[in-house]
Chains A and B, each alone.
Chain A
Amino acid sequence: MNQFTFTGREKMVLMFFMALGAICLAATYFVEPATMVVMNHGHEETVSTHHMRFWSNFLQNVVFFLGMAFTAMFGYCAFITAYGGWFSGMKRLWEAYALWMGVGLIMMLILIAGVWMHWHHLYHWNAHGVTDINDPHYDEIIAGKAPFLNKYWYTFATLICVGVYVFITMRIRSLSVAEDNGVKGDYSYHNKMRGWMAAFLPWGAFTSAILIWQWMMSVDAHWYSTMYAWNVTASFFVGLLSMTVLMLIYLKSRGYFVYVTENHMHDIGKYLFGFSVFWTYTWFSQYMLIWYSNNGEETIYFLTRRDQYPILFYGNLVLNFALPFLILIRNSSKRKFGTIGLVAAITFFGHWFDMFYLIKPGALINIAGSNDAATALGSVTGYALPGLLELGTFLGFTAMFIYFTFSKLSEAALAPTNDPYIGESVTHHVI
């Protein structure tokens, strides 16, 4: 069972969910009213919604899955660079995830096109006149940020940064597959891979922050936090680990990855636990420092979320901190597939939910025109909480991601038999 076969039944089920997702996503384009009435500076104003519900859903899902694929590559590089022997047995799975970055880049092109063509209003810095001092919509702060927040740089940075990720990922993947058919004991493939991996790590570390600022943080164009990029990256990584746990449980039930045992699950569980705590650490540090110094320009971000969206705000912490922390703290729960699978399902949804929490309140402010106007709107469908259409979209993207993973898994052997660490991996033993 070293060769994965993507069955017709799996394809059908996944296609069904992809179709469901597509319908739900398309529906959000049409069900949202084209305009809404807001109270801005004491008078009523009719504003266009610019199909924000659709675009913000699209951004949320594209970024979440692209981010997971990025952390798959980053983690893969880190493990191999650090002689992580236990990991080799499941490296094909992470390679498959990482290759998703190519799909993610294509999806980003749609968002980029949207920036150029003004199809969406995700980014207020892209609105007409905000950087023009003679325009009534002039915004001094955004004008100051214009050298970074502009469509040229948005396009350029996305293409270059993600383009290089995809390039290196494909290089590593082809070396890794070639290694399978190489001469036994020839580690030249492995050494070449290490070279690319060492290059990926600093490049990924420096550039991922830039992408996260412009894709996500700039939805709230005025607000800034130096912790933001690390917090979001941690979120991606926990999402990825959760996906890995669920995927391994499924694939093992089909008879694949037999050499990935509860010992490997224990290690993934440690990462899931550790990075859930790390995510909370960055979340708390960011929140606490802003709360403590009580600077209005910074507190507004959390004030909006905490008071307007308490379910998002506290739910995020319950799903992504309290539950994984309490359940996974015991060793045995990291080794029981049922338990760790439950936690993984919670945190996988939880970090998607985190993306929702990060993007949606700012998106609503962007159509309402101001924080106060958005607050006055109260709970708006598709912004205050994920609705059924959002959940359907999430299922659709997940299905697509799995479909892609399965098709990549079927292209190479599951166990990299020529990997210099495979022996350590199959006999990996914790406790």
Chain B
Amino acid sequence: MSHHPIISPLRHTLITGDKTYHDITEDICAPSEKVPSTAWVIAFILSVTVLGFGVFCILWTIWMGIGTWNLNRTIGWGWDITNFVWWIGIGHAGTLISAILLLFRQKWRTGVNRAAEAMTIFAVMCAGLFPLIHMGRLWLGFFIFPYPNTRGPLWVNFNSPLLWDVFAISTYFTVSLLFWYTGLVPDLATLRDRSKGLRRKIYSFVAFGWTGSAKHWQRFESLSLILAGIATPLVLSVHTIVSFDFATSVIPGWHTTIFPPYFVAGAIFSGFAMVLTLMIITRKVLKLEDYITMQHIESMNKVIVLTATMVGVAYLTELFISWYSQYPYEQFAFYNRATGIYFWSYVGMMGCNVLVPQIFWVEKYRRNITLTFFMSIFINIGMWFERFVIIVTTLARDYLPSSWSYYVPTWVEIGIYIGTFGLFFTLYLLFTRVAPVVAIAEVKSILKTSGSQYTGVVNRKAVDYKEAAVEADHVHVGHEHH
């Protein structure tokens, strides 16, 4: 049997513009080899300013105390944990694209995996800030590390999902970073080979002496697969454990068994929305439309409609089972979510996460960039509302009506949240300057099967799939009979 690939005539092109290998190198290296554009400079200044304000708010919290937030005895978790879960969730798409889609050999991942992985790392950094700041006194972070200690019998609480979170997220961060960097090495070597002087010295150092020999590639491939194999259960474990933070409790509305897979689905959902937001801007600004094509956007929109529906099934499941349980507190928790003081956040959650994304069942809308851009922002608002509903709405109405409360954030809490956007975009903008935003080597690997000169309706004649199929069948029959 010959292994020359036969491509279905219905399969879309993933690299447009009839690129050659050389074109790919030139196009993708270009953004990091030129003087930054005015747009980049303005965006960077803006991001750093916002980051500065965030740092100020964090320092304000630490200096003045956690009392500068509006948390109270009833609502002990507010914007802080909402933002934490939201950012962690956003990180998930990167690992899904880079690891799970690698295991499934999905070719379209090559256009977006690099940026998505970078986004994962930055999002996890933003997320990690919140539990630390929430301690009020930052140095208490010391006590979350379990090591043979001088504190006598005092250990961290191994029974607490909050501690499992520490392990899960730090492991996840480490593996994501390794995975991202491994993928970067061949591309950094490409940049090194194109540069001179100090720039060359720096890229030489970070490229680890990559020469592109067969041995290097072989090791690269095995390492990628191993890391993908490790990252896949890790990405599931992270949001699973985040969901355990809630679901191990006996709080009505939190204690429900569907939380783990539903949190993971929601995380991938919001992560893909954020990837779309970033990619739609990036491809335009860095002129990468030939590599991040309509087909990539459509594929991501399919993942969006899939995960939106999964999240929808989960929302309706927990709503239904709360009634079915015949447990009055559980029933009240959901009644309160839908009709209580924070009803608007429930409406926002259902609307943005379940109802509106259903438009993506229609191909025309999946391939509409403007619409996709607005949807991606909608979804991230919706997913923020989901966490707000779970955390604040539930806590605001606890078992004792006398302690029922209402919560609005202070400027400090809002400032820290805005500040994390500053951090996120500062890092992302720096990333677009120093490393190729699209994985050069990986895109090259799919050129012969997904490049526009080889695929698509125009080239249908080039791959007469049916004759090939019949031929392959004959060849096989011949073999089997001997």
Contact = CB atoms under 8 A, between A and B. Distances in A.
Interface of A: 1-2, 81-83, 85, 140-141, 144-145, 148, 184-185, 187, 190, 198, 201-202, 205-206, 209, 213, 224-230, 255, 258-259, 270, 277, 281-282, 285-286, 288-290, 292-293, 295, 297, 415, 417-418, 420-427, 429-430
Contact of B249 (A206, A293, A424): A293
B211 interface: no
Nearest to B321: A226
Contact of A285 (B257, B312, B470): B257
Contacts of A141: 326
A148 B325 CA distance: 12
Contacts of B327: 297
Given A417-B469, A426-B473, A281 B317 contact: no
Contacts of B469: 259, 415, 417, 422-423, 425-426
19 contacts: A140-B326, A209-B313, A224-B325, A225-B257, A226-B259, A258-B473, A258-B476, A258-B479, A258-B480, A259-B473, A285-B257, A285-B261, A289-B257, A293-B250, A420-B465, A421-B8, A423-B8, A426-B468, A427-B3
B463 interface: yes
A285 B3 contact: no
B261 A184 contact: no
Nearest to B330: A224
Contact of B463 (A1, A187, A418, A423): A423
Contacts of A85: 8, 11
A430 B105 contact: yes
B255 interface: yes
A114 B21 CA distance: 68
Interface stretch (B81-89, B240-248, B403-411, B427-435): B240-248
B11 A282 contact: no
B316 A286 contact: no
A81 B318 CA distance: 28
Nearest to B257: A227
B458 interface: no
Given A213-B324, A423-B469, 19 more contacts: A81-B302, A83-B10, A83-B11, A145-B326, A225-B321, A226-B257, A227-B257, A230-B261, A255-B477, A259-B472, A277-B233, A281-B240, A286-B257, A418-B466, A423-B8, A423-B465, A424-B465, A426-B6, A426-B473
A292 B105 contact: no
B310 interface: yes
For the complex of A and B, 10 pairs with smallest distance between CB atoms:
A423-B465, A226-B258, A423-B6, A227-B257, A258-B476, A144-B326, A285-B260, A292-B248, A426-B472, A286-B257
A227 B3 contact: no
A33 B468 CA distance: 63
Contacts of B240: 281, 285
Q: Tell me if A's interface is mostly helix, strand, loop or mixed.
A: helix
Contacts of B6: 423-424, 426-427
A227 B243 CA distance: 13
B5 interface: yes
A426 B476 CA distance: 10
A427 B1 contact: yes
Contacts of A258: 473, 476-477, 479-480
Contacts of B302: 81-82
B309 interface: yes
Interface centre among A277, A282, A293 (most CB of B within 10 A): A293
B110 to A, nearest CB: 15
Interface string B295-330: 000000010000001101110111001001111000
Contact of A226 (B9, B236, B317, B460): B317
